[in-house]
Amino acid sequence: MASATPLTSAVVLAAGHDDVSRSLLTHPLGGSTVVGAAVGTVTRVVDPSRVVVVVAPGDTAVREALGDGYTYVEQAEPRGTGDAVLTARAAIEALGTDRVLVAYADTPLLRPDSLRGLLHRFTLKDADLAILTAVVDDVAQEYGEYGEVVREATPSGPAPIIAIRDQAEQHAPREGRTELNVGAYAAHPGLLFGELEAMAADDEHRLTELARRIIGRGKSIHSYQIYDTSEVRGINTPEQLAQAADIVLARLFVPVKNTDTQIVFGTGGWRALIGEGYTLANVRRLSQAIANEVTRRGLEGQGVVIGGDRRFLSRESAEAAAEVFAGNNIPVTLLRDDVPTPLVTFAAPYLQAAYGIIITSSHNPPQWNGMKVFRADGSLPLDDETNRYQDEANALSIADVVTLDLARARETGVVVDRELDEPYIDAIEEIIDVDAVRGSGLRVIVDAMYGTSQSTLGTILTDMRVRAEFIHAQHNPLFGGIAPAPDSERLHALKGLIERGGGRYSLGMATDGDSDRIGIVDEQGEYVEANDLLLLLYWYLHEVRGERGGVVRNLATTHMLDRLAAHFGEESREVKVGFKHVTAGMEEIGAVLGGESSGGLTVRGWLLGKDGIFACALVAEMLARTGKTISALRQAIWDVTGRLYMAEADVPATPEMRVEVPRRLASEPLTHVGAYPVASVSHIDGTKIVLEDGGWALLRFSGTEPLLRMVAEAATPEQARELLDWLKGFVTA
C-alpha cells in the first residue's frame, strides 16, 4: 500500500539583508514581482495556507505585493538566514507538518519542478536534510555569492556530500565546473529547528552551517541537481533584476511539454500535440467553457453544430464535445462522418446555431489535433473572446464538466445526427456560375491530401460537368507522413501527373487537411503561388463578374494586390495574420476579396471564413468564362501590375531570439536594409519593414509553433533573396 504524501509547509525568506535587496523584492518581474514570482513557485508545490513568509520589522511592501493568504512573521534583527528560518518556528509548528521546504524570495527563477524534485528526493532517500544544487561554469563571475558543495571522492556510486564551503572560506578562485548550493532546503521540522536553535546558542546564524553540522553528526544529507543554470540566478542588484527579466520573458516562448496541458488559442483556433496538450479531457473542458458562455448569453435554444475531420481522435472528440453540450441542456447537431471546416463555417448561420465547432488541426502535421470555434455568423472569434474561452477552460477541473451519455442524448433528441453536404453545395452553386462551366471541356486533377474535400468538391465538379480525377482521397489519418498543406513542396505528385499528361489537364487543384486552403498547379505543371492566385481572382471578380470593391490581405501577402486595387481605383487594406482579421477588414471596407499568402481566401457574399472548396469552384468558373489558361491569365495581369517576387524562410525560434530580436529592432531604428533605404516600419504583427522602392521584409514569430517566419518581397528574385538573407543575418548576429 502506497504511503500518504507527507504534509509539507514552507518558509520563504523575504526579509532581505539590506535596504537595496529588500526594495528589489517588490520590483516588477514577468507580470508579477520578484517576491511574487518566488512565492508563486513555492505555492505550485506547497498549499499557500501552509507558507510562512519571513519579512523585515514593520514591513508592508512585501505583504502588499503578496496579499493575504500567507502567514507573515518578522525577523527582529538581520542576524542571518538561519535566524530568519528560526523566526518561523512557532508558525510552522502550529501548522503541523512532516517536512519543511526553505526557499529564498530573491531566487524567483527556480521552477516548481526543481522544488518538487527536491522534496521527492528528501522523502525517497529518507534523508535528514536535502539541498538543491547546480553545476555551473564561470562561477566567480556570476555565482560568487553561492556556497560550494564539497563531495568525497569515491571510485563508484554517488559521492556523498562532506561540506558546503561558503565564499568567505575560499582560499583560491574557483575554476572550472563547480557544484553550488542553490539555497533551497528540505528537512524534518524537529531536526531543522533543533539544530538552528543549537547554532543560535553558539552565535552561529548562517543557514549553510546547518549542512556542516548535520554532516558532522553523521546524519544523512542528499541533493537534487537542477540542470537549467538560469534558475540559480539571485536578484540582489538592479543589473541582476534586468537579467532575470530577460530570462522570464524568454521562458514564455519555450514549448512546455509533459506537465503543461493548458489550452491556448492561436491565429486559427486551439491546436496541440495529441497526447500532450490535445486530450479528450481538454476537449471537454473547452466545450464546458463554451457551453457556459452559451448559457450566460441565454442562447441555449439555438444549440451548437459540431463536426470533425479525418484526424486521429476527431470523431471521438466531436462526440465528447457533444456530450458536454448535451449535459448542459444545449441541443447539438452532430455532423455525420468527416466534414470540411468550411461546411461547419456554413452550418452555424444556416442552422442559426449559437456556435459552430470543428475538430481539426488544419494543415498541421498528423500528430496534432485541435478545435476551431465559429460564431453564429460563421466568423472566427477575435482575441478577446478566445482568451476568455481558454482562460475559463484552463480554470476548470474535469469535475466541473457536465456531460450526458451520447446514447441517452440521442434517444432524447438533445443530440441529432445530420448531414449538411447538400445545403452547403447548393449554397456554393447559387454563387458559382455552374452553367458557364458546363461544356467548357475542363479536365482537372484534385489532390485531396487525404483530407475532407472529395465528397463536396467532387459533387460540385460533377455538377459543372468537369472531368475530375482525385488522388490521395482515401482516409489516412497519417496524411501519407506529411503535413497536409497545399504548397509547392508537398504537391510533387500532382505536378508530375500534369507534366506527364501532355496537355491533357486544364489544371490541378489541391485542398489542405480540413479543406479551407487551396493550392493550384497550372496546365504546364507549374505551381501557382497563392499570391498570384489571389491576384487572378481579384481581377476576375472585378473585371469579369463586375463586382466592385476593394481587397484585404494580411501583412505577409503580396503588395501586388494593392497595385491592382489602385489600378481599379479601389481600396486595399493590410491586417494582422489570422483570417478573422481578414474578414473583419473586409466588412469594414466592403471588400470583394480577402486572402492570405498561405492559400486561404473568401469573397463577399460567401462565408466569413476561408473556403478551399468554394475557391476551387471559383477557379474553374474563371477558366471557363475567360476561355484562357491560368498561365495566360497570370501574364496578362502581370502586364498591369508588374512583378514582385517573394522569398520566405522559417527558422527555429529560440527563447533568446524572441527576447533579443525585438530589443535590437527597438534599440537600433532601421534606416536601411542592406543598401535599400527604409520608408516605414510597422509593428502591428511582428516587424514589417517597407522600403522606399516598394519592397518589404517581415519578421514575425509564429503564434502556434516555435518558429520565426521571415518573408521578403521585391522587384526581382535576387533582391527578394538578398532581403531574406539580410533578415537571417540580423536574427542570427
Task: Please tell me the predicted confidence (pLDDT) of residue 237.
Answer: 82
pTM of structure:
0.77
Q: Give the single-character DSSP code of 671.
A: S
pLDDT of 174 strictly over 60:
no
Please indicate, yes or no, whether residues 485 and 601 belong to a single structural domain of this protein.
yes
Task: Please tell me the predicted confidence (pLDDT) of residue 1.
Answer: 35
Please indicate, yes or no, whether residues 650 and 628 belong to a single structural domain of this protein.
no
pLDDT of 657 strictly over 50:
yes
Averaged pLDDT for residues 457-480 = 96
Domain CATH code at residue 702: 3.30.310.50
Domain CATH code at residue 58: 3.90.550.10
Quickly state the pLDDT bin for 705 (edges 50, 70, 90). Answer: low
Averaged pLDDT for residues 582-607 = 96
pLDDT of 101 strictly over 90:
yes
Task: Please tell me the predicted confidence (pLDDT) of residue 652.
Answer: 82
Please indicate, yes or no, whether residues 619 and 692 belong to a single structural domain of this protein.
no
Quickly state the pLDDT bin for 266 (edges 50, 70, 90). Answer: confident
Domain end (from 586, 617, 641): 641
Rounded to the nearest 10 degrees, how much is the dihedral formed by the CA atoms of 142, 145, 150, 156?
A: -30
Task: Please tell me the predicted confidence (pLDDT) of residue 258.
Answer: 42
Sign of CA dihedral 274, 277, 281, 283: negative
Report the number of distinct structural domains present in the chain: 4
**pLDDT tens figures, 274-291:** 998 999 999 999 999 999
Task: Encode 41-72: b = buried (16+ Cβ within 10 Å), e = exposed.
Answer: bbbebbebebbbbbbbeebebbbebbeeebbb
Distance CA 221, CA 104 (A): 20
**pLDDT tens figures, 71-92:** 999 999 988 999 999 999 999 9
pLDDT of 227 strictly over 70:
yes
Q: Percent of the chain beyond pLDDT 90?
A: 73
Q: What are phi and psi of 357, to 5 degrees?
A: -130, 130
User: Is 568 inside any structural domain?
Assistant: yes
The 3-state DSSP composition of the chain as helix, strand, coil percent (nearest 5) reads 40, 25, 35
Averaged pLDDT for residues 670-680 = 91
Task: Please tell me the predicted confidence (pLDDT) of residue 132.
Answer: 93
Please indicate, yes or no, whether residues 440 and 517 belong to a single structural domain of this protein.
yes
Write the burial class of residue 526 (CB in 10 Å: 0-12 exposed, 13-18 middle, 19+ buried): middle
CA nearest neighbour of 30 among 20, 19, 17, 40: 40
Q: Percent of the chain beyond pLDDT 70?
A: 94
Please indicate, yes or no, whether residues 149 and 13 belong to a single structural domain of this protein.
yes
**pLDDT tens figures, 103-151:** 999 999 999 999 999 999 999 999 999 999 998 876 555 555 678 888 8
Please indicate, yes or no, whether residues 299 and 322 belong to a single structural domain of this protein.
yes
Averaged pLDDT for residues 504-530 = 97
Half-sphere exposure of 666 (CA within 13 A, CB side): 8
Please indicate, yes or no, whether residues 649 and 566 belong to a single structural domain of this protein.
no
Domain end (from 620, 641, 662): 641
Domain CATH code at residue 397: 3.40.120.10
**pLDDT tens figures, 355-402:** 999 999 999 899 999 999 999 999 999 889 999 999 999 999 999 999
Task: Please tell me the predicted confidence (pLDDT) of residue 233.
Answer: 83
Q: What is the mean pLDDT of the chain?
A: 91
Task: Please tell me the predicted confidence (pLDDT) of residue 171.
Answer: 46
| Whether 531 contacts 643, CB under 8 Å | no
User: Is 53 inside any structural domain?
Assistant: yes
Total count of residues recorded for the chain = 733
Task: Please tell me the predicted confidence (pLDDT) of residue 82.
Answer: 93
Ranges 221-225, 277-281, 546-550, 726-730: which has the least confidence = 726-730
The residue segments making up the domain with residue 570 are 432-641
User: Is 426 inside any structural domain?
Assistant: no
CA 72 to chain centre: 38
Task: Please tell me the predicted confidence (pLDDT) of residue 126.
Answer: 93
User: Is 722 inside any structural domain?
Assistant: yes
pLDDT of 692 strictly over 50:
yes
Domain end (from 387, 419, 451): 419
Q: Identify the top-confidence range among 2-11, 374-383, 617-626.
A: 617-626
